[in-house]
Amino acid sequence: MAYTLSPGEISSFVKLALDEDAPFGDITSEACVDEDVRVNAVLVAKAPGVIAGTEFAREAFEQCGARCQVLIEDGRKVKPGDTVLRVVDSPARSVLRAERVALNFLGHLSGTATATAQLVAAVDGTGTIILDTRKTTPGMRAAEKAAVRAGGGHNHRLSLSHGILIKENHIRAAGGVRTAVQRALKARTSPEMWLEVEVTDLNELREALDAGAKMVLLDNMGEEMMRQAVEIAHEAGALTEASGNITLSNVRRVAETGVDFISVGYITHSAPWLDLSLLVEHDPPAPPAE
Taking only the tens place, the pLDDT of each residue in 191-227 is: 888 899 999 999 999 999 999 999 999 998 999 999 9
pLDDT bracket for residue 2 (50, 70, 90): low
Q: What is the CATH number of domain 120-269?
A: 3.20.20.70
**Considering 21, 219, 256, 275, which one is annotated as catalytic?**
219
CB 72 within 8 A of CB 78: yes
**The pLDDT of residue 289:** 58
Residues 104-131 have a mean pLDDT of: 98
Residues 258-266 have a mean pLDDT of: 97
pLDDT bracket for residue 283 (50, 70, 90): low
* Of 2-6, 30-34, 128-132, 243-247, minimum mean pLDDT range: 2-6
**Considering 15, 38, 77, 135, which one is annotated as catalytic?**
135
What is the C-alpha separation between 90 and 101, in angstroms, rounded? 17
Please tell me the pTM assigned to this model: 0.92
Bridging pattern class, strands 83-91 and 38-45: antiparallel
User: Other C-beta atoms within 10 Å of 235: how many?
Assistant: 9
**Considering 26, 59, 74, 198, which one is annotated as catalytic?**
198
What is the C-alpha separation between 265 and 244, in angstroms, rounded? 8
Does 219 participate in catalysis according to the annotation? yes
Does 135 participate in catalysis according to the annotation? yes
**The pLDDT of residue 290:** 54
Does 167 participate in catalysis according to the annotation? yes
Q: How far is CA 227 from the centre of its chain?
A: 28
Every domain range in the chain assigned CATH 3.90.1170.20 = 7-115+272-281
**Considering 100, 134, 183, 206, which one is annotated as catalytic?**
100
As assigned by CATH, the class of the 7-115+272-281 domain is alpha beta
For residue 289, CA distances in Å to 75, 268, 285, 286 come to: 51, 56, 12, 9
Q: What is the pLDDT of residues 146-178, one digit of tens each?
A: 999 999 999 998 899 989 999 999 999 999 999
Task: Give yes or no for residue 249 having a pLDDT over 60.
Answer: yes
Mean of per-residue pLDDT scores for the chain: 94
**Considering 167, 172, 201, 281, which one is annotated as catalytic?**
167
List of residues 6+ apart from 14 with CB closer than 8 A: 56, 59, 60, 63, 101, 105
Does 100 participate in catalysis according to the annotation? yes
Every domain range in the chain assigned CATH 3.20.20.70 = 120-269
Residues facing 70 on adjacent strands: 85
Residues 268-287 have a mean pLDDT of: 84
Does 168 participate in catalysis according to the annotation? no
